[in-house]
Structure 1
């Protein structure tokens, strides 16, 4: 009975760890951003315009069931404006005025292929199209640009500080212009301008959309949102792909805000004028055997007098979800809660401080692994009073082990009497068996929050430690089934759980050492359960991110030192009872 609370705490921790993930899934490779959208999407006509043109979205071109072609072949089929920036490369398709070719120059798909960069946006006609488009709804009787409209550009290159103006004039004499700009990171500026030389007033409503064809392959972890998201009237809304299939339209009226599509590390987001009232929607449309997805906003329709010009400004983000960068944009453009594109979860009050602490320590140490180790020292210092009290109580129990063993032998056939005598002994010696659970209980949310931080933040992606650890967000790559890298063998997925790396073994060994310092359970069955705990946890944590395992091993080591010092000060032997005088 004296150890039941400890067993309960251990079982609880196991349940939570298993519940986070089928950790075998953490073996899934980091995928390039899902590319899906494109051909056909629909934005409703503005409610204020009773005679606004069309209520169905223009088709992008190409049937949903068309065979995808090579991306390079598709890109040379239409005139384009080149995008050149420090962190982005790609092009703008002048047919339809779509940003549909974008590569993230700083990020490789995986460490084994450093020249293979992450492709974020794809043109229609290629595999999994994914693009951004801005346009207008017009009165009936006026011709609006569509997916087949070929625009002219005043420059062949878009670069930071070098905007490009796209222009097209319809048969009625209305000129449409899109002035596109780009900063040194991932934010595009868009000015949608209409010059009305038609000789009569025209009613128009500007809109922007992100389109993605095909349901992307997602990791499927409950602690990570992938799909549609946005902030409307200061409130975050998240919709998974599967949920949007069931309810194919989700609409919001909002002042400002933002909306888009998120992957684990990448984001495309529309940011309308923050003072403008806009209608937004998320859509899922059946296309052959799959779906296309769209996020869009529609500004109010206004009347542009003959000879007048109207302009609306907005932005769109397409790139990596770096926390500092999202914070910078949120402040610069007054974008509400833009950092919520990163899924810090319900424990954000822990995950965010942990992220900031690791990031701050990294600025001094230059290594995220060292930052995690130093953070472990900091957390240990914060929990020191609680842990100290717990370890003192456990040391007292260790000191009482000879008496407890004697009781077990005396009352071997009377379990009820044994429990009564044990409780009296605890009361007499002022020992609290529950005290040993407290460090475990407090470590669980910290452990989870660190796991979440390592899992969702791009700053940890491909972050190296020392030696063989090249990615702290991935499992230890050297496993026992490959003799720690000496055998070139691709381990089958069914055996990943057995392919334990060096750091998980270190963690398991430190856990076993720490267990040796704890008092043994009075119940033989419980004692056997505890004996196997280090082995169980070694296999459980073996496929978790290496950074998390390094944290746990460091925490165990500090706990061993702290507990050993307390036992030495109290004169407690490792095996229980009083230590012999030296």
Structure 2
């Protein structure tokens, strides 16, 4: 081994490559796949069985809005709360528009973030209804009667928006209940059977969205759009539009949930947790993805009533709130395969932020804590590198002695390491152990809504976006260069020397487009490493070990 420093830099490059791969996999442009048109028409024949397992096999499936929606503003019911500007279409009682006034579209704009919308050429809506033999949504979306078209939440009292319908001898009320300060909406059906025969209905809820939004994605600007679901067997599983185009989802589960994801936001249906639900997906028309849940059919005797409840969520990915709604829904904050480390680090980061009241300062504090906890490994790493440097003359002597006999050189080198009590991998393994921590923190900084538009100080006004003046990436490159100076290259190959020399520049440029919160973490980490290196080397020099090239 000519230089452990070269190994460490290569390892760092490998980590960055994996970050690139992971980002491209989740957020990058996906290859075009020929869509499979799946029929969404509803047969007029009765389905007396109407079990959840018949969803994909029966023509009696939930009705979906027309491919080209008839946008009638006169049918819109507008609801305003402190967290919502929402619109409900009285045709079917669909949620066709959701704006989030507490989350601006950009840092400096006053335009609320638009999560769901129904426009010519693009739809992202939440539909729900009742099918089976007597369900009003079995053949077409019913037109509900409404008391008024404007609702405004007042104070801390829940806001109730009722939609009413008389259908086939039944009185049906579809009720939306909004709670101030909360992004979850209670959606209930109250059904009274006024006829002289048993009525059978079956609830469903699904989300519909155009596959092609007209937006582009890149490695540096994540615009992930796709579905996900949770069941008794899998708490969280992505099911993107490409998956929908290949296979219709069909999962029977107790409780469960379905969702459509964006980078920091999610829309989800959480059906009745006490029921057995059939989770499903399909492609509507040629360019719309649907994911939903079909509940269990219920019979309502003459003169009797029934109620059906589901929860709709549309808002930011706040982990604590999502975890309360459904098992695994908080995992839509996708920290990847190291989620268990990321969640622990995020918990620690939020606790620190409560004290310092600044997410940038919280990042600096958590970096100090992580680097402090890793100091024993860092000490082993740098001591091992210094010992290897002290052995360099003896290693060169062995290389000269056995330059024509590679088979003898290997055992001779191992005997030298054993005699001098030096582990040639001692400087590399600690670095490899620390890599999962860096990767986990990376996903915390990229995925956590709390860092969106969070200011630090001076010119850093949004830790979730790149440094507008590239100051942090440049400072990072300088810190990396200083670390190289403290641990000089021992390689003699000119190409490798040039590669090492230009590595800080390459990483600085690479970090130009990374979130400034992540670059801040790595810059502070490098500065702490520099201090640790000076402290460790000073102690080793007192013991007579050379820590630098002379």
TM bucket, shorter chain: 0.7 to 0.9
**Structure 1 residues 341 and 47 mapped into 2: Cα distance closer, same or farther (>3 Å)?**
farther
Q: Secondary structure at the match of 1:136?
A: strand
Residues 65-106 of structure 1 deviation map (CA, whole Å, 9 limit, x = unaligned): x9xxxxxxx56x223332121111122222321111210111
Counterpart for residue 183 of structure 2: 186
Shift of residue 310, structure 1, vs aligned partner? 1.4
Shift of residue 523, structure 1, vs aligned partner? 3.1
Counterpart for residue 377 of structure 2: 386
Pair 1:517 & 2:522 matched: no
CA contact (8 A) 1:465 1:472 kept: yes
CA contact (8 A) 2:317 2:333 kept: yes
Pair 1:544 & 2:541 matched: no
In 2, Cα distance between the equivalents of 1:298 and 1:271? 11
Shift of residue 431, structure 1, vs aligned partner? 3.2
Residues 8-28 of structure 1 deviation map (CA, whole Å, 9 limit, x = unaligned): 4432331331232279989x9
Shift of residue 541, structure 1, vs aligned partner? 2.6
TM-score, scaled relative to structure 1? 0.80
Counterpart for residue 485 of structure 1: none
Q: What does 1:496-535 correspond to in 2, within 5 Å? A: 501-525=470-494, 526-535=496-505
Counterpart for residue 259 of structure 1: 258
Shift of residue 46, structure 1, vs aligned partner? 6.9
Deviates more, 1:414-423 or 1:258-267: 414-423
Shift of residue 516, structure 1, vs aligned partner? 1.5
In 1, Cα distance between the equivalents of 2:152 and 2:301? 32
Equivalent of residue 141 in structure 2, options 138, 147, 155 = 147
In 1, Cα distance between the equivalents of 2:135 and 2:505? 75
Counterpart for residue 118 of structure 1: 113
Residues 303-344 of structure 1 deviation map (CA, whole Å, 9 limit, x = unaligned): 2222221111111111111112213x33xxxx2222112112
Equivalent of residue 55 in structure 1, options 41, 60, 64 = 60
**Structure 1 residues 516 and 407 mapped into 2: Cα distance closer, same or farther (>3 Å)?**
farther
Counterpart for residue 77 of structure 2: 81
**Structure 1 residues 6 and 94 mapped into 2: Cα distance closer, same or farther (>3 Å)?**
same
> Between Structure 1 and Structure 2, how many residues are aligned?
521
CA contact (8 A) 1:46 1:205 kept: no
Deviates more, 1:338-347 or 1:299-308: 299-308
CA contact (8 A) 1:398 1:519 kept: no
In 1, Cα distance between the equivalents of 2:136 and 2:516? 60
In 1, Cα distance between the equivalents of 2:308 and 2:399? 85
In 2, Cα distance between the equivalents of 1:360 and 1:212? 37
Counterpart for residue 33 of structure 2: none
**Structure 1 residues 156 and 23 mapped into 2: Cα distance closer, same or farther (>3 Å)?**
closer
Q: What does 1:153-164 correspond to in 2, within 5 Å? A: 153=147, 156-157=150-151, 159=153, 161-164=158-161
Counterpart for residue 549 of structure 2: 576
- The Cα RMSD (Å) is 3.5
Deviates more, 1:516-525 or 1:103-112: 516-525
Shift of residue 119, structure 1, vs aligned partner? 0.8
Q: Secondary structure at the match of 2:337?
A: coil
In 1, Cα distance between the equivalents of 2:527 and 2:260? 42
Residues 15-47 of structure 1 deviation map (CA, whole Å, 9 limit, x = unaligned): 331232279989x99xxxxxxxxxx95689878
**Structure 1 residues 454 and 389 mapped into 2: Cα distance closer, same or farther (>3 Å)?**
same
**Structure 1 residues 142 and 17 mapped into 2: Cα distance closer, same or farther (>3 Å)?**
closer
Q: What does 1:413-562 correspond to in 2, within 5 Å? A: 426-478=417-469, 501-525=470-494, 526-562=496-532
TM-score, scaled relative to structure 2? 0.84
**Structure 1 residues 285 and 575 mapped into 2: Cα distance closer, same or farther (>3 Å)?**
same
In 2, Cα distance between the equivalents of 1:194 and 1:141? 11
Residues 369-405 of structure 1 deviation map (CA, whole Å, 9 limit, x = unaligned): 111111111111111111112222223344556x469
Counterpart for residue 368 of structure 1: 359
In 1, Cα distance between the equivalents of 2:257 and 2:22? 33
In 2, Cα distance between the equivalents of 1:313 and 1:24? 37
Counterpart for residue 481 of structure 1: none
Residues 106-128 of structure 1 deviation map (CA, whole Å, 9 limit, x = unaligned): 1112224x2121111213x4342
CA contact (8 A) 1:386 1:439 kept: yes
Counterpart for residue 109 of structure 1: 105
Counterpart for residue 486 of structure 1: none
Gaps of 5+ in 1: 30-39, 67-73, 479-500, 578-582
Deviates more, 1:154-163 or 1:531-540: 154-163
CA contact (8 A) 2:136 2:142 kept: no
Counterpart for residue 297 of structure 1: 293
Counterpart for residue 136 of structure 1: 130
Residues 525-580 of structure 1 deviation map (CA, whole Å, 9 limit, x = unaligned): 44443333222222223322211211111111111111112222232667435xxx
In 2, Cα distance between the equivalents of 1:543 and 1:512? 20
Q: What does 1:341-352 correspond to in 2, within 5 Å? A: 341-352=332-343
